[in-house]
A and B are shown apart, each in its own frame.
Chain A
Amino acid sequence: MAELSIITYPDERLKGESQRVEIFDAEVGAFIADLEETLRAGPGAVGIAAPQVGRAQRIVIVDCSAKRNTPNNGRMMLVNPEITEWDGYAVGREGCLSVPDYTGNVIRAERISLEAQDEHGVPQHYHCEGFEARAVQHEIDHLDGLLFLDRLVSRRNDLFRRKVYK
């Protein structure tokens, strides 16, 4: 196992589309173990996506279990994840290992359902809400070459303010 180095914006590799994982062999398994070690080494991060270490494959790890008062599925190994349902929306603050020293507000679905495979290729199904749903959407964005910077909303004109005018 080895901790991998995180690539940061504006590295072009963060803007590309990642490929599906078709073969679940020892090499992929070893990479996933390294990716998890990298996530655990990060300061306070709850998720990581393969493109963040320069590998263009649809692999994400999310683990919100260390956050108190947050409903979560524990350690989620998400290979080839697909969000199948979205419900509600909320503004929340996000930061990214690949964008140091900046956080911003982003609108995400509050509840999602998703299909994925685990590290062995076994199909999994998850429901996520709140903080964890946000983390999953943020990580899956990485697989499509999107950063939270692509989705920032103005602090000045947020949803609470718009609601006042309804």
Chain B
Amino acid sequence: MKHWYMLTVVGKDRPGIVAHVTSALFEGGGNLGEASMLRLGGNFTIMLMAQYDGSLKALERLLEPVIDSMDLHMHLDKIEGHLHEHVQPDVRISVFGADQPGIVAKITAALAEAGLNILNLESDVAGTQDAPLYIMHIEGEAREGIEALRSALAICAHDGVEAKLTPVETMVG
């Protein structure tokens, strides 16, 4: 397999999207690598590393029938991709509180300034329409140490927002 592509798929959620898209890829001679797939606000989203011998256009033609038949949208990028290059997180940050404008921007800006490289971020709005509750989990690398992040969080986490930082020490056995 020659090339790696990043396939992005978005569309109204319904059962079978993953099976159909990955079957089309597999049956067309492609291969998949790392992927993230989840439902966001009633939409299903896929970010998927696809390995394929042909051109971007050929891969697009291969996937088009299934994408169209399920009323999805796709986007393909040729990427410099490699497997087996996971970076291990050494810190985990959880934030929750009443939803308010700018909360993610404020906190992630402070953390970036303090050396955080985000590897994985998941964020959700829970609660009710009248009282939305914002929840965010981040796993990342503390490039300037855990204490720098702790100080940054202490400064920006207030106004009913709670933030918890936990060092991640991976146990290998």
For chain B, residues 146 to 173, give those with C-beta under 8 angstroms from any C-beta of chain A: 164, 168-173
For chain B, residues 113 to 129, give those with C-beta under 8 angstroms from any C-beta of chain A: 120, 122, 126
Q: Which B residue's beta carbon lies closest to that of A48?
A: B173
For chain B, residues 28 to 80, give those with C-beta under 8 angstroms from any C-beta of chain A: 38
* A97 contacts the other chain (CB 8 A): yes
Contacting pair B164 A155 (CB below 8 A): no
Q: Report how many A-B pairs have Cβ atoms within 8 Å.
A: 71
The complex places the Cα of A139 from the Cα of B84 at a distance, in Å, of: 24
Task: Indicate which residue in B122, B135, B139, B172 contacts A95 across the interface (CB closer than 8 Å).
Answer: B172
Using known A-B contacts A101-B86, A102-B86, A156-B122, determine if residue A96 contacts B173 with beta carbons closer than 8 Å.
yes
**CB-defined contacts of A95 to chain B, threshold 8 Å:** 88, 170-173
Contacting pair A101 B84 (CB below 8 A): yes
For chain A, residues 127 to 152, give those with C-beta under 8 angstroms from any C-beta of chain B: 131, 134-135, 138-139
- Chain A min CB distance to B89 (Å): 8
Contacting pair B94 A103 (CB below 8 A): no
- Chain B min CB distance to A36 (Å): 14
A interface residue count range (under 10 / 10 to 19 / 20 to 34 / 35 or more): 20 to 34
- Chain B min CB distance to A165 (Å): 8
**CB-defined contacts of A97 to chain B, threshold 8 Å:** 172-173
**CB-defined contacts of B84 to chain A, threshold 8 Å:** 100-101
- Chain B min CB distance to A140 (Å): 10
* B96 contacts the other chain (CB 8 A): yes
Please, how many residues of chain B have a CB less than 8 angstroms from a CB on the other chain?
21
The complex places the Cα of A49 from the Cα of B172 at a distance, in Å, of: 12
For chain B, residues 1 to 23, give those with C-beta under 8 angstroms from any C-beta of chain A: none
- Chain A min CB distance to B120 (Å): 7
For chain A, residues 112 to 139, give those with C-beta under 8 angstroms from any C-beta of chain B: 131, 134-135, 138-139
Contacting pair A155 B168 (CB below 8 A): no
Task: Indicate which residue in A62, A102, A135, A158 contacts B137 across the interface (CB closer than 8 Å).
Answer: A158
The complex places the Cα of A67 from the Cα of B170 at a distance, in Å, of: 11
Contacting pair A93 B171 (CB below 8 A): yes
**CB-defined contacts of A21 to chain B, threshold 8 Å:** none
Contacting pair A161 B168 (CB below 8 A): no
The complex places the Cα of A45 from the Cα of B173 at a distance, in Å, of: 5
The complex places the Cα of A93 from the Cα of B89 at a distance, in Å, of: 9
Contacting pair B122 A131 (CB below 8 A): no
Contacting pair A62 B173 (CB below 8 A): yes
* A94 contacts the other chain (CB 8 A): yes
**CB-defined contacts of A100 to chain B, threshold 8 Å:** 84
Using known A-B contacts A101-B84, A156-B137, A158-B137, determine if residue A94 contacts B170 with beta carbons closer than 8 Å.
yes
Known: A93-B170, A103-B86, A160-B137. 15 other contacts (CB 8 A): A44-B172, A46-B171, A46-B172, A46-B173, A49-B173, A93-B171, A94-B170, A94-B172, A95-B173, A101-B84, A103-B170, A131-B169, A138-B171, A160-B164, A164-B133
Chain B positions near chain A (C-beta within 8 angstroms): 38, 84, 86, 88-89, 94, 96, 120, 122, 126, 133, 135, 137, 139, 164, 168-173
